Structure 1
Amino acid sequence: MLVMLLGSALLGVAAGAAAQSAVRVVEGFDDPGRWRLQVSEGAQARLNRVGGADGGRALCLQADFGDLPGSARFSAPLPLSLAAGARLISSSRGEAAQAQLSLQLVDGQGRRIGGHRHGRELGSRWQPQYWALADFSDAAGNVAVLPQAISRVELHLAAPAGGKAQWCLDNLAVQAGDDDADEPFKPVALADTATALQQRMVDGRSDTLWVSSGVKQQTVSLDLGRERDVGGLLVQWAAGLRADRYRVQASSDGRRWQQLRRIEGASGNTDRLRLGPLQARYLRLDLEDGPNWRYGIVDLLPQPAAFGRSTEVFLAEVGKQWPAGILPPSLSGGPLEWTVLGAQGAVAPAWFSAQGSVETLPGSFSLEPLLQIDGQWLSASQMELSPQWQAGAARSHWLHGQARLEIAASSGNDGHGRPWLRLRYRLSNPDRASHRYALALALRPFQLHPAGRLGDLAGGAGWIASIDAAPGRVEVNGRTALLAITPADAQFASHFDAGLAMNLLRGAQLPATRQAEDEQGLASAALIWRKELAANGNQEWEVWLPMAAAGQVSDKVPGQFQASTLAGEGWVLPGSQGQALVMAWQAAVGRMRAERAGPWLRRDSRRAIGAGNRDAMAIADALLQADQVDAVVPWLLARIGSGSTGNCDLLAHWAQAAARVQAAHGWTIDQQAALQPWLHDSLARYQPAGACAAQAQAPAAAVALGRLLPAAEPAVEAVADEPPVLAAVSDTGKEAVPAPVTVTPAATALAVMVPGEPVSLVQRQQIWEGALAQLDDQLPAGWQRWVRGQSRGLLDARQAAAQVQAIAAIVAEEQDDHLRLLPGLPATAWRDGRLQVPGLLTRWGRLGVQGRREGDDWVLQFAPGLQAPPAGLVLDWPFNTPPTPAMADGQAVAWQAGRLHLATLPAELRLHLPAH
Structure 2
Amino acid sequence: MRGARTWSLLALLAVMQVIGSGAAFADRVVLDDFADLAGWTAIASEGTHVWIARESDETGTGMRIGFDLNIGGGWVIVRKSFSLTLPENYAFSFRLRGETRPNNFEFKLVDPRGKNVWWRNQRDCVFPREWQRMTIRKSRLDFAWGPAGGGEPKQVGAIEFAISAGEGGSGSIWLGDLGFEAREPAGQDGVAPEAQASTFLPGHEPPLMLDQDGATAWKSAPLPREQWAMVDFHRNREYGGLVIDWDPDDYAVAFEVQVSSDGSAWTTAYRTATGHGGRDYIYMPDAESRFIRLAMQRSSRGRGYGIVALAVKPFEFSASANQFFGAIAQDAPAGTYPKYLYGKQTYWTEVGVEGDDKQAILNEEGMLEVEKGAFSIEPFLYTDGGLVTWSAARTEQSLEDGYLPIPSVTWRHNRLGLRVTAFATGEAGRSTLFARYRVENHGDDGEPVQLFLAIRPFQVNPPWQSLNMSGGVTHIQEMRFDGRTVWVNRDKAVVSITSPDHFGAGTFEEGSVTQFLVRGKVPPQTDVSDPFGFASGALQYNFYLEPRAHAEVDVAVPFHDAHVAAAGLGSDGNAAWVAERHEEARRHWQNVLDRVEIALPPSA
Measured against the shorter chain, the TM-score band is 0.7 to 0.9
Structure 1, 544-553 or 272-281: larger mean CA deviation: 544-553
**Separation (CA, whole Å) in 2 of partners of 1:126 and 1:337:** 40
Deviation, structure 1 residue 440 = 0.9
**Separation (CA, whole Å) in 2 of partners of 1:353 and 1:195:** 52
Q: Tell me whether 1:442 sits opposite 2:454 in the alignment.
A: yes
Structure 1, 494-503 or 189-198: larger mean CA deviation: 189-198
Q: Tell me whether 1:181 sits opposite 2:187 in the alignment.
A: yes
**Separation (CA, whole Å) in 2 of partners of 1:6 and 1:40:** 40
Query: Residue 554 of structure 2 is aligned with which of 526, 538, 542?
Result: 542
Q: Tell me whether 1:76 sits opposite 2:99 in the alignment.
A: no
1:426 alignment partner in structure 2: 438
Query: Residue 280 of structure 1 is aligned with which of 262, 270, 289?
Result: 289
Name the aligned partner's letter for residue 232 of structure 1. Answer: G
Q: Tell me whether 1:57 sits opposite 2:66 in the alignment.
A: no
1:307 alignment partner in structure 2: 317
1:413 alignment partner in structure 2: 426
Q: Tell me whether 1:156 sits opposite 2:163 in the alignment.
A: yes
More contact order relative to length (CA 8 Å, sep ≥ 6): 2
Deviation, structure 1 residue 569 = 3.1
Deviations 1:558-577 (A, max 9, x none): 7596759659934678xxxx
Deviation, structure 1 residue 512 = 1.7
Name the aligned partner's letter for residue 469 of structure 2. Answer: L
Deviation, structure 1 residue 481 = 3.3
Distance 1:417 1:364, change over 3 A: closer
Q: Which has the larger radius of gyration?
A: 1
Equivalent residue of 2:500, what SS? Answer: coil
Deviation, structure 1 residue 439 = 1.3
Q: Contact 1:32 / 1:59 at 8 angstroms: preserved in 2? A: no
Distance 1:255 1:176, change over 3 A: closer
Distance 1:555 1:457, change over 3 A: farther
**Separation (CA, whole Å) in 2 of partners of 1:24 and 1:327:** 46
Deviation, structure 1 residue 200 = 4.3
1:578 alignment partner in structure 2: none
Name the aligned partner's letter for residue 381 of structure 1. Answer: S
Name the aligned partner's letter for residue 260 of structure 2. Answer: S
Q: Tell me whether 1:124 sits opposite 2:147 in the alignment.
A: no
Name the aligned partner's letter for residue 409 of structure 2. Answer: S
**Separation (CA, whole Å) in 2 of partners of 1:248 and 1:346:** 48
**Separation (CA, whole Å) in 1 of partners of 2:236 and 2:508:** 29
Equivalent residue of 1:542, what SS? Answer: strand
Which 5+ residue runs of structure 2 have no aligned equivalent?
1-13
Q: Tell me whether 1:340 sits opposite 2:350 in the alignment.
A: yes
**Separation (CA, whole Å) in 1 of partners of 2:506 and 2:63:** 41
Deviation, structure 1 residue 146 = 5.1
Q: Contact 2:408 / 2:420 at 8 angstroms: preserved in 1? A: yes
1:224 alignment partner in structure 2: 233
Deviations 1:477-516 (A, max 9, x none): 2233311001211221122232211232113664322233
Distance 1:517 1:281, change over 3 A: farther
2:477 alignment partner in structure 1: 465
Deviation, structure 1 residue 187 = 4.2
Q: How does 1:161-176 map to 2 (within 5 A)?
A: 166-170=172-176
**Separation (CA, whole Å) in 1 of partners of 2:517 and 2:433:** 25
Query: Residue 238 of structure 1 is aligned with which of 230, 240, 247?
Result: 247
Structure 1, 101-110 or 358-367: larger mean CA deviation: 101-110
Q: Contact 2:416 / 2:442 at 8 angstroms: preserved in 1? A: yes
2:256 alignment partner in structure 1: 247
2:592 alignment partner in structure 1: 569
**Separation (CA, whole Å) in 2 of partners of 1:373 and 1:340:** 31
Q: Tell me whether 1:400 sits opposite 2:413 in the alignment.
A: yes
1:262 alignment partner in structure 2: 271
**Separation (CA, whole Å) in 2 of partners of 1:440 and 1:472:** 15
**Separation (CA, whole Å) in 1 of partners of 2:442 and 2:58:** 66
Q: Contact 1:343 / 1:411 at 8 angstroms: preserved in 2? A: yes
Q: Tell me whether 1:484 sits opposite 2:490 in the alignment.
A: no
Deviations 1:847-902 (A, max 9, x none): xxxxx44678xxxxxxxxxxxxxxxxxxxxxxxxxxxxxxxxxxxxxxxxxxxxxx
Equivalent residue of 1:336, what SS? Answer: coil
Distance 1:2 1:517, change over 3 A: closer
Deviation, structure 1 residue 442 = 0.9
Q: Contact 2:24 / 2:184 at 8 angstroms: preserved in 1? A: no
Query: Residue 369 of structure 2 is aligned with which of 354, 359, 365?
Result: 359
1:913 alignment partner in structure 2: none
From the two aligned structures, give the one with the greater helix fraction: 1
2:534 alignment partner in structure 1: 522
Deviations 1:321-359 (A, max 9, x none): 111112323322221101223447866432221111121
1:793 alignment partner in structure 2: none
Structure 1, 531-540 or 547-556: larger mean CA deviation: 547-556
Equivalent residue of 1:272, what SS? Answer: strand
**Separation (CA, whole Å) in 2 of partners of 1:74 and 1:519:** 32
2:219 alignment partner in structure 1: 210
Name the aligned partner's letter for residue 252 of structure 2. Answer: A
1:905 alignment partner in structure 2: none
TM-score (norm 2): 0.78
Q: How does 1:767-778 map to 2 (within 5 A)?
A: none
**Separation (CA, whole Å) in 2 of partners of 1:256 and 1:363:** 41
Deviations 1:294-336 (A, max 9, x none): 3313244332222222222222222221111123233222211
Name the aligned partner's letter for residue 526 of structure 1. Answer: A
**Separation (CA, whole Å) in 2 of partners of 1:53 and 1:184:** 47
Q: Contact 2:49 / 2:76 at 8 angstroms: preserved in 1? A: no
Q: Contact 1:5 / 1:128 at 8 angstroms: preserved in 2? A: no
Deviation, structure 1 residue 522 = 1.7
Distance 1:135 1:16, change over 3 A: closer
Q: Contact 1:201 / 1:210 at 8 angstroms: preserved in 2? A: no
**Separation (CA, whole Å) in 2 of partners of 1:116 and 1:568:** 45
**Separation (CA, whole Å) in 2 of partners of 1:353 and 1:130:** 37
Query: Residue 494 of structure 1 is aligned with which of 485, 488, 506?
Result: 506
Distance 1:855 1:323, change over 3 A: closer
Query: Residue 328 of structure 1 is aligned with which of 306, 315, 338?
Result: 338
2:6 alignment partner in structure 1: none
Deviation, structure 1 residue 543 = 0.7
Q: Contact 2:513 / 2:523 at 8 angstroms: preserved in 1? A: no
RMSD: 4.4
Deviation, structure 1 residue 524 = 0.8
**Separation (CA, whole Å) in 2 of partners of 1:86 and 1:553:** 54
Deviation, structure 1 residue 99 = 4.2
**Separation (CA, whole Å) in 2 of partners of 1:216 and 1:71:** 57
Name the aligned partner's letter for residue 64 of structure 2. Answer: L
**Separation (CA, whole Å) in 1 of partners of 2:593 and 2:53:** 53
**Separation (CA, whole Å) in 1 of partners of 2:409 and 2:33:** 52
Distance 1:166 1:333, change over 3 A: farther
Equivalent residue of 1:448, what SS? Answer: coil
**Separation (CA, whole Å) in 1 of partners of 2:390 and 2:58:** 49
**Separation (CA, whole Å) in 2 of partners of 1:535 and 1:569:** 40
**Separation (CA, whole Å) in 1 of partners of 2:220 and 2:39:** 61
Distance 1:203 1:336, change over 3 A: closer
Name the aligned partner's letter for residue 385 of structure 1. Answer: T
Deviations 1:21-78 (A, max 9, x none): x98777777638734353786x87665544499844233446587xx67654324366
Deviations 1:798-817 (A, max 9, x none): xxxxxxxxxxxxxxxxxxxx
Q: How does 1:574-585 map to 2 (within 5 A)?
A: none
Structure 1, 126-135 or 228-237: larger mean CA deviation: 126-135
Aligned length: 564
Distance 1:318 1:337, change over 3 A: same
**Separation (CA, whole Å) in 1 of partners of 2:396 and 2:463:** 26
Query: Residue 381 of structure 1 is aligned with which of 382, 391, 397?
Result: 391
**Separation (CA, whole Å) in 2 of partners of 1:347 and 1:531:** 37
Equivalent residue of 1:380, what SS? Answer: coil
